[in-house]
Amino acid sequence: MARHIGLMIETFKALADPNRFQIVELLLQGPRPVGEMVDRLHLQQPQVSKHLRVLNAAGLVAVRVDAQRRIYALRPEPLKALESWVERYRRVWEQNFQRLDGLLEEIKSKEKKRGRKNRKSLTE
């Protein structure tokens, strides 16, 4: 469990940087060479390489060598782990919203009853 939490923390740290987040967004569309990411992100090659090293260390990207180019691809496993973690909290929020819906329905029902009583007293 501690290892799992440690991996999620590393994923969050890696994604916290806006440039790395943009790289992940680019890779979501498919594998890309470093040069293309440099062009699209308007960053210098050393900056992109540095960010890719961090993403690789966090397990978010995989790299393959194609002649003189390095092609990076998104690895979905760390993101799936985050999704599972967030899903637990989504269920908590849904339960809270269901309770709130019930409370609002109860209030509406009481207001309707009061409205009927007030109309009766006005007509009498």
Dist CA 54 CA 57 (whole Å): 5
Strand partners, 65: 70
What's the pLDDT tens digit per position in 40-82?
Answer: 999 999 999 999 999 999 999 999 998 889 999 999 888 888 8
Sign of the alpha-carbon dihedral angle for 36, 41, 46, 48: negative
Dist CA 105 CA 99 (whole Å): 10
pLDDT given for residue 88 in this prediction? 82
pLDDT given for residue 34 in this prediction? 94
pLDDT given for residue 41 in this prediction? 94
Average pLDDT, the chain: 87
pLDDT band at residue 115 using 50, 70 and 90 as cut-offs: confident
CA atoms within 13 A on the CB side of 106: 6
- For the segment(s) 2-75, the CATH number from 2.60.40.1080, 1.10.10.10, 3.40.50.10170, 3.20.20.20 is 1.10.10.10
Domain boundary assignment for the chain: 2-75, 84-124
CB atoms within 10 A of CB 25: 11
pLDDT given for residue 122 in this prediction? 55
What's the pLDDT tens digit per position in 89-98?
Answer: 887 888 888 8
